[in-house]
Amino acid sequence: MNTLFDTLTGRIFDIKRCSVHDGSGIRTVVFLKGCFLRCRWCHNPESIDFQPQILFAEDKCTVCGDCVTVCPHECHTVSSGIHSFDRTDCMRCMKCVAACAFGALKESGSLYTIETILALLEKDRGYFAESGGGLTLSGGEPLAQPHFSIALLKAAKERGFHTCIETCGQVDFSFLEEAAHHTDIFLFDCKESDPARHKEYTGVDGLKIQDNLRRLDALVAKIILRCPIIPTYNDCPEHFDFIARFSEELKNVQEIHLMPFHPYASHKNKQLAEPYLMGDLPAPEKEQKQTWRDALQARVSRPVRL
């Protein structure tokens, strides 16, 4: 039976079925748009802005000119076989996206109802049951769209689905508290221990995040700590010591997951016409990642996974 909540909409930039990286078992991951942080290494730069955006893949563009014809604000131009896209006057009407037959223009951030997502979950109910999987909300920051995310978690739980939410923690605690009623596991980020460096790397000092994590732990919510490890930024003994101290202080951390840096956001920044801030920093080698895992595992009682 449909409820009023089932018709609530959220702005979503991707939905991935059959993921095995974002919680237990096989999962459907719903990526919500909008985040209060600005992590330099963000793997999903299209997730940060709350508004819909257009990704332009130059390598798919055939310079057909159809986007030029439909754009009411002359954002697209084709001249001497070269397509240019000036977003200054773009009103996000998405007419150019609809007109592009080659997939060179892609909208990031469509509206979905809870009903639509529940119908997607139903398709994988069998896989979830066999694998211990379910729904994961990710982003962006899911609780930056709190009413939608909490209603979706609630609706999914009521239908018997296992639920996870990945959060950066920079949200009003009341939203975490409410989400906890309908969430089996929190995937909670722990990015940097030093407040000044946290602010430099993400835009906020991280103290509210730490406080929220302590308060969430006190609610006996199951937590997996997710720690991005970025070479030359936070792959230092002081940060590993902090993760160890903090995780041991918390009662309900089940596991610690290290999330090694990968430069795959660079092409997305290019498609968004936004600067990529990580220069030519490469992904760490397998041996390096194992060294990080071992270094942290030696400091903590909970399992550390890559």
AA letter at 148: F
If one asks whether residue 62 binds ligand SF4 (CB under 6 A), the answer comes out as yes
If one asks whether residue 11 binds ligand SF4 (CB under 6 A), the answer comes out as no
If one asks whether residue 92 binds ligand SF4 (CB under 6 A), the answer comes out as yes
Query: What are the backbone angles phi and psi of residue 180, rounded to the nearest 5°?
Result: -60, -25
Greatest Cα-to-Cα distance within the chain, rounded to the nearest angstrom: 64
> Which residue, 67 or 244, is less far from ligand SF4 as judged by CB?
67
If one asks whether residue 16 binds ligand SF4 (CB under 6 A), the answer comes out as no
CB of 51 to ligand SF4, least distance (A): 11
Footprint on residues 99-138 left by ligand SF4 (CB under 6 A): 99-100, 102, 104-105
Tokens 């055939």 -> residue: 62
Please count the residues of this chain forming the interface with ligand SF4, following the rule CB under 6 A.
Answer: 38
Using CB under 6 A, pick the residue from 90, 129, 236, 295 that binds ligand SF4: 90
> Which residue, 188 or 292, is less far from ligand SF4 as judged by CB?
188
3-state secondary structure of 283: coil
Residues that bind ligand SF4 (CB under 6 A): 35, 37-39, 42, 44, 47-48, 61-67, 70-71, 73, 75-76, 78, 83, 90-96, 99-100, 102, 104-105, 139-141, 168
